[in-house]
C-alpha cells in the first residue's frame, strides 16, 4: 500500500480558523478542502464541521468531493450523527465518523468510528496530537502546519525533522496513519506547507 493511502487531510470550511483571530493567523484563507487535497495529492479527507459549517444536508458539499477515495465526517451531536449515517448510504466514499463527544453507536451502526485522544470517547481508531511522534505509536498522528498554541509559524528545520520522523514511523508500520491540519492554513504562505508537499511527492 502506498504511504499516501494512509495520510488524511483534516478539512474545514475556508476561513473557519481565521474566525475571531484566535490563532493569530495571517492573510486570508480561501482554499477549500477539495482544493487542498488535490494540491497535496491526497485521496483521504476528514471533514470537520466548525461553527455549524458546512450546513446540512451534507450532500451539497459531498458532491464536490466525489473524486476522493475515503471521507470521514465529524459528529458532535445526535443531529450530525443521523446526517452522517444518512449520507453514508448514498456516498460510497463516506467511510467513517469522527466522534467528538457523546455515544452515537446506535445511530452510526457499523460506520467506523474515530476519535481524538483525550476526549474520553471510545472509537475504532484514535488520533494523537503530539510534538513527539514516538508517543503516537500504535495510533494515528495529527500534524499541525501552524503553531496554534503560540500563534506563530513553526520553525522550518524543526518541522522538517519532525515530518521526516513521522513518515519514517509510518513506513515502518509504527503508526497507522497521519492527519494533516488543515486546508485553512495552506494558502497563507507557510513554509511548512511547501516542506510537506515536497515530502509527499517523494514518498
Residue-level pLDDT at 51: 87
Structure confidence by residue, pLDDT tens digits, 42-69: 999 999 999 889 999 999 999 999 999 9
Average pLDDT over residues 109-125: 93
Q: What's the average model confidence in pLDDT over 102-108?
A: 96
d(CA 20, CA 11): 19
Question: Is the pLDDT confidence value at 20 over 70?
Answer: yes
Cell of 13: 470550511
Q: Give the pLDDT confidence of 3-13 residue by residue, as tens digits.
A: 999 999 999 99
What pLDDT, on a 0 to 100 scale, did the predictor assign at position 122?
A: 86
Q: Which fold has domain 3-201?
A: TIM Barrel (3.20.20)
Phi-psi region of 52 (alpha: psi -120 to 50; beta: other; left: phi over 0): left
pLDDT value for 12: 97
**Residue 195 · residue 160 · CB < 8 Å:** yes
Dmax (CA) of the chain: 46
Q: Label residue 1 by pLDDT band (50, 70, 90).
A: low
Other C-beta atoms within 10 Å of 95: how many? Answer: 15
Residues 130-158: tens digit of each pLDDT = 999 999 999 999 999 999 999 999 999 99
Average confidence score pLDDT of the chain: 96
State the pLDDT at residue 123: 87
**Omega of the bond prior to 187 within 30 degrees of 0, cis?**
no
For the entire predicted model, the pTM comes to 0.96
Can you give the pLDDT at residue 66? 96
Residue 120: pLDDT above 70? yes
Amino acid at each position: 500500500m502506498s504511504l499516501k493511502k494512509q495520510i488524511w487531510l483534516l478539512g474545514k470550511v475556508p476561513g473557519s480558523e481565521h474566525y475571531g483571530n484566535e490563532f493569530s493567523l495571517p492573510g486570508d484563507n480561501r482554499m477549500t478542502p477539495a482544493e487542498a487535497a488535490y494540491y497535496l495529492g491526497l485521496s483521504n479527507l476528514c471533514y470537520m464541521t466548525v461553527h455549524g459549517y458546512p450546513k446540512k444536508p451534507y450532500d451539497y458539499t459531498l458532491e464536490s468531493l466525489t473524486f476522493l477515495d475515503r471521507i470521514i465526517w465529524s459528529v458532535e451531536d445526535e443531529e450530525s450523527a443521523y446526517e452522517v449515517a444518512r449520507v453514508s448510504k448514498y456516498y460510497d466514499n463516506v467511510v467513517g465518523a469522527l466522534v467528538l463527544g457523546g455515544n452515537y453507536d446506535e445511530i452510526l451502526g457499523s460506520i467506523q468510528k474515530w476519535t481524538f485522544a483525550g476526549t474520553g470517547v471510545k472509537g475504532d481508531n484514535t488520533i494523537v496530537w503530539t510534538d513527539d511522534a514516538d508517543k503516537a505509536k500504535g495510533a494515528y498522528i495529527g500534524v499541525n502546519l501552524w503553531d496554534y498554541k503560540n500563534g506563530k509559524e513553526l520553525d522550518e528545520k524543526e518541522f522538517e525533522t519532525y515530518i521526516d520522523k513521522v513518515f519514517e514511523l509510518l513506513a515502518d508500520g509504527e503508526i497507522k496513519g497521519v492527519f494533516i491540519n488543515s486546508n485553512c492554513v495552506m494558502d497563507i504562505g507557510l513554509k511548512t506547507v511547501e516542506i510537506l508537499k515536497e515530502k509527499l511527492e517523494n514518498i
